[in-house]
Amino acid sequence: YNVIKDFYISRSDENIKGFSSESILLNLPVNKLDKTLFKKSQLSRDLMNASEGLSKKQIVLKTLKDDGQWGFRFISMFPDIGYDPSTDKNNMIVKIPSSIYEQMVPIESYCQLDLKLLSVFGSGNTIRLYEIFKSYAFKKLFSIDFNELRKLLGFFNEGSYQEWKHFNAKVLKPAVKDINSH
């Protein structure tokens, strides 16, 4: 996040390996990662495990059009993550699509997510719920109605958990349990 932020506010582009209208390619300095999350003796393995989890993360955008047809888009957040200590032990390479990094531009509205934590969550419901909670972390009051929460979690399809008891039992409780276990 800080590499992208520095680039957008023209403070620094030293860690930008490539930039186009389609994606941004970053050198992510390994020494800037939270040292409590990675053991120095197992850095390469820990980076690989975290990267493998992150490579599977995606954003799902669904919209119900006026004519009743569904529009959708699946965006891989990190389609290319690499680390090769034999060529550069100080940096990871991370490619982020423009549709993702453009959402990071309004810095004041972007919340930093713990990417290693996201990589260990067992379901997309947990990730989306965690992102919702994090986006409201600094607000005094958080209020959301049932249908809005269903929509944010991607369950606004007809017949998908329309009753609170099913939604709570099958979506919320397992997601909250997963979040709290980490």
Which residues in the chain land under pLDDT 70? 1-13, 101-119, 136-140, 156-159
Predicted pLDDT at 80: 93
> Given this model, what pLDDT does residue 164 score?
87
Alpha-carbon span 57 to 131, nearest angstrom = 12
The pLDDT value recorded for residue 40 is 81
178 in Cβ contact with 122 (< 8 Å): yes
Q: Which residues are bridge partners to 27 per DSSP?
A: 93
Report field, pTM of the whole predicted structure over 0.75: no
State residue 85's pLDDT score.
92
Cα Rg, the chain, nearest whole Å:
18
Q: Which residue, 43, 16, 41, is CA-closest to 31?
A: 43
Task: State residue 48's pLDDT score.
Answer: 92
Q: Pick the closest to residue 9 from 103, 152, 107 (CA basis).
A: 107
Distance CA 84, CA 93 (A): 9
